[in-house]
Chains A and B, each alone.
Chain A
């Protein structure tokens, strides 16, 4: 793991993913853009609130026998709560996200094909999508269950995009009968579609989990 010096405060900031252009300096909350050898401070990100997530930067997970390391995080908040999205960098170079909410985990892989579906294209263009709307994707029928207007509550680690405090997006969750999930995220610039599956922490075969004061890591998860 290499390090860089924050252009704003000079502290040493660890770099976990060479592929990700943005990094957050955890000491001064500066968003840093890496352009080759150049480091540029491009703004600030909000201070992340205290939480008891078992995942931390540097945690590794091995869902379905592929090893990933947690290299970054974005936290989103909406009117009725907040959640974390952890950036996973695979040993094969692939990147995906681990959504964490209410103690459950969802592995999200980008599925751009969904954007071609007329319903999604319309949403991407700025249209609305109602709860209960059905969508066909990945060989299943998905039904829209939640629509959230979310705001970025901060970020940490290495990220593919900057996480300024005024960043907002519309997030729609879909669920299928067999427990699969679909997620559409639309912000000012673009829309992305993600295919997700639910996992328990134990199924993710995690290592290097965060130690939380007053709690021992249960046997099943160790």
Chain B
């Protein structure tokens, strides 16, 4: 196991952790709709 491999394994672990975290928070930069924290607007309500 060279230093390079160990470094890469750590990187893989990082990737796994970020997948878990992003899945937990259901986060994605590619999604169409996101919760908008700043403009907490009130949308259409049921009439």
Query: Are A and B in contact, CB atoms below 8 Å, in the complex?
Result: no
A positions within 8 Å CB-CB of B: none
